[in-house]
């Protein structure tokens, strides 16, 4: 969540299974389309000898997604596809787009497709757990991104949602001070958002903040559908100094609500995740969105694919990989005249995950 596209975490965000778009895409080619300002990734040359199974040619991998609204998920997918192409992976992409039953069916199809590995990007654990168990029993390598599972043998990858929330809330503490009245826009039941909520609860007490309201929902139009919820809350509690909305689609809706109520000079918004659209909204004139934190969704998608490749080659030697987040403020974006993710990557090298899950035989995609 973005993300997480929920980038986050990184819904991304972690396990934002209720995020909805329509349709399903399946592809074996790396996507050539990128958002404006997010140019095509480049791959470094591999110097080492490819291990099995990559030494025998293209390796079949399935990516089973539960993507949501916003460009976080598009960028994540673009990064994954680019890295797969660079590795010689024959990648088939399934996207249930908030239909939990369809994701279970997609996962079943992936199991029966002959894939050597399956990457699961977000999802509702109760729905897909039986299929995860089937995949592991069949000897298929399974790598999940922002999905909670207790199945032995599954590799877990995720944004560090606790560090993401803490980075933003540290800025919020500086901006609104102690004992302030605050608002909260979040939804329970999603792994990334629940982890961010844990940090919020701790910081709420530590700062002596008074939470005046909590609203929020996740739909196929999360940003739009949260505007009336936050607007109603602000009608009753227009004296809050700040609002924490720890998923960028929630933050976008909060920003619109604050602007509609003409409170942008009084109420500051603190979000999570980062994308081209987020940057544009944060740097817009009179925007109340003053801070976010996130990972580069393209870099995360690529790193998850590299993690899968190492697991297939027997070289990962770990069961979990986390991607650290960095804080990004409105002041920084405006000062550096940053308008898109390419410029942000250049200004914040910490977003580059090119050294995460790599080896000399991997043609590493950089963004």
Is residue 298 within 8 Å of 344, Cβ to Cβ?
no
Residues β-bridged to residue 163: none
The confidence score (pLDDT) of residue 31 equals 34
Does residue 276 sit within a domain?
Answer: yes
Per-residue pLDDT for 173 more than 50?
yes
Which pLDDT band, with edges at 50, 70 and 90, does 7 fall under? very low
Q: What total number of domains does the chain contain? A: 1
Per-residue pLDDT for 332 more than 80?
yes
CA distance 150 to 357: 22
Q: If you search the block for the tokens 């199809």, which residue do you land on?
A: 109
Is residue 6 within 8 Å of 247, Cβ to Cβ?
yes
Does residue 188 sit within a domain?
Answer: yes
Does residue 29 sit within a domain?
Answer: no
Is residue 151 within 8 Å of 132, Cβ to Cβ?
yes
- Of 3-12, 43-52, 156-165, least confident by mean pLDDT is 3-12
Identify the CATH number of the domain in which residue 212 sits: 3.40.50.2300
Does residue 268 sit within a domain?
Answer: yes
Does residue 280 sit within a domain?
Answer: yes
Q: Mean per-residue pLDDT for 133-148?
A: 96
Domain hosting 233: range is 161-294
Q: Mean per-residue pLDDT for 235-251?
A: 97
- Encoding tokens for residue 273? 């995740």
The confidence score (pLDDT) of residue 73 equals 86
- Encoding tokens for residue 311? 């697991």
Does residue 139 sit within a domain?
Answer: no
Does residue 102 sit within a domain?
Answer: no
The confidence score (pLDDT) of residue 30 equals 31
Say whether pTM exceeds 0.85. no
Which pLDDT band, with edges at 50, 70 and 90, does 46 fall under? confident
- Residue-wise pLDDT for 178-226, tens only, equals 999 999 999 998 878 999 999 999 999 999 999 999 999 998 899 999 9
Q: Mean per-residue pLDDT for 299-328?
A: 95
Does residue 71 sit within a domain?
Answer: no
């Amino acid at each position: 969540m973005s993300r997480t596209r929920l980038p986050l975490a990184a819904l991304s965000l972690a396990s934002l299974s209720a995020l909805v778009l329509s349709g399903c895409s399946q592809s074996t080619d790396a996507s050539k389309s990128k958002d404006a300002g997010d140019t095509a990734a480049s791959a470094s040359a591999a110097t080492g000898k490819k291990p099995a199974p990559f030494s025998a040619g293209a390796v079949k991998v399935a990516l089973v997604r539960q993507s949501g609204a916003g460009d976080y998920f598009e960028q994540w997918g673009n990064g994954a596809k680019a890295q797969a192409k660079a590795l010689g992976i024959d990648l088939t992409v399934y996207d249930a787009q908030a239909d939990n039953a369809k994701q279970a069916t997609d996962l079943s199809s992936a199991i029966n497709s002959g894939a050597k590995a399956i990457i699961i990007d977000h999802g509702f654990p109760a729905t897909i757990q039986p299929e995860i168990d089937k995949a592991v029993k069949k000897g298929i390598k399974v790598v999940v991104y922002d999905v909670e599972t207790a199945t032995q043998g599954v590799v877990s990858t995720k944004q560090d949602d606790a560090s993401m929330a803490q980075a933003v809330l540290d800025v919020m503490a500086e901006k609104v001070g102690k004992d302030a009245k605050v608002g909260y826009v979040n939804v329970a039941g999603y792994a990334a958002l629940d982890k961010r909520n844990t940090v919020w609860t701790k910081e709420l007490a530590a700062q002596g903040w008074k939470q005046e309201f909590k609203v929020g929902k996740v739909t196929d139009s999360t940003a739009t559908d949260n505007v009336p919820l936050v607007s109603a809350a602000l009608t009753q509690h227009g004296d809050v100094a700040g609002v924490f909305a720890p998923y960028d689609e929630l933050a976008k809706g909060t920003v619109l609500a604050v602007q509609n109520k003409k409170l942008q000079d009084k109420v500051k918004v603190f979000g999570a995740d980062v994308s081209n659209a987020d940057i544009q909204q944060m740097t817009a004139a009179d925007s109340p969105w003053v801070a976010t934190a996130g990972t580069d969704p393209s870099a995360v998608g690529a790193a998850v694919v590299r993690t899968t490749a190492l697991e297939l080659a027997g070289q990962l030697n770990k069961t979990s990989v986390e991607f650290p987040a960095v804080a990004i403020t409105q002041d920084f974006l405006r000062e550096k005249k940053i308008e898109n993710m390419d410029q942000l990557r250049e200004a914040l090298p910490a977003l580059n995950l090119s050294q995460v899950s790599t080896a000399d035989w991997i043609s590493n995609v950089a963004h």
